[in-house]
Amino acid sequence: MSGIKKQQHYVWRRYLASWATNNKIAFLHKKENLIITNMNNVGKNGAFYKIHPLGKKEKELFYQLLPNLNFPEYLQQWIKLYIDKTSGVFENIENPTQEQAKLIDETRKNLVESLLENIEKSSIQHLESLSQGNINFLSDDKHRITFCHFIAWQYLRTRRMQEMFISGFNAHCKEFDTKSLFEATRIAEVLDLTDRLFFENYGFLLVKNTTTSDFITGDQPIINLSADYKGKIKATDITLYYPITPTKALLILPKIRHSTIQLTDSDAVRRYNQQISNFSYDQLYAKTMQELVEFKSVL
């Protein structure tokens, strides 16, 4: 690895490029004014992906909770194997040298982001196809499962997902390392969502926006329209919405055929944008500041 990454992005910068002009993007933050800024300035937070290995009591608790997550048995066994193999990997060196300690710290901070970079590279071609209005790659199982895995990570990698889990867990179990529990749960959730999207035959509906209003996006770029955006009720159904560009979006729904539709209703575009605002943590992005003005009073 090539040094510690001081600022890690929880929203993929290449994805945001669809809303940028010369690397500048319209940006609304709940603590700041609506501005135009460089893409590098948004959707980031220190060593966001630093690994916090499960301690003994956290691992025991995670294994107690795992059956309640309703994952298939084979997936539960795979997750246990993964946790057993990785939870102690950073503690196996006793009395590490200064150089070893530096390498361990660098690995803990960079490993997940490096993993994400590889997952994202594998789906650049898929996003480019979708942005051009082409969904043909979804008929190939290899491409579809790769894209399903990408979708699962983009949905669950965000600051909103982390903060919701940690705040909810801290309310009941303050004595545990909730970040390590979140990281283990996130891996499990990513695998389960990938599994469901692929094997339960979810369909992908490409929405072409032909109105004069743009799709916006946010720091929770993929949202579940079947969920309660306040997070008070756990969703059991999945209806994912993912704006791809200002004029293209993806809906992922159960038991439909992959297809393309045109959206000609500006009010429908605004409703989708409102949902992106509802589910955001504290940031919205758009092609122009005009598209974000109406959200200044609600974000």
pLDDT at residue 233, as a whole number: 59
Q: What is the DSSP letter of 249?
A: E
pLDDT tens, position by position, 8-35: 888 999 999 999 999 999 999 986 789 9
Judge whether 263 lies within some domain: yes
Residue 99 has pLDDT above 70, yes or no: yes
Judge whether 2 lies within some domain: no
Question: Model's pTM, two decimal places?
Answer: 0.89
190 or 31, greater pLDDT:
190
Judge whether 1 lies within some domain: no
Judge whether 4 lies within some domain: no
Interior/surface letters 159-174, b for 16+ CB within 10 angstroms, e for the rest: bbbbebbeeebeeeee
Judge whether 6 lies within some domain: no
Q: How many domains does the chain have?
A: 1
Residues 219-246: what's their mean pLDDT? 88
pLDDT at residue 171, as a whole number: 67
pLDDT at residue 119, as a whole number: 93
Q: Please list the residues that pair with 259 across neighbouring strands.
A: 205
What is the token pair recorded at 140?
Answer: 């190939």
pLDDT tens, position by position, 139-174: 999 999 999 999 999 999 999 999 888 887 766 677
Domain hosting residue 177, numbered range: 13-287
Residue 70 has pLDDT above 90, yes or no: no
Judge whether 173 lies within some domain: yes
What is the token pair recorded at 277?
Answer: 């605002």
Judge whether 294 lies within some domain: no
pLDDT at residue 89, as a whole number: 58
pLDDT at residue 206, as a whole number: 98
Judge whether 189 lies within some domain: yes
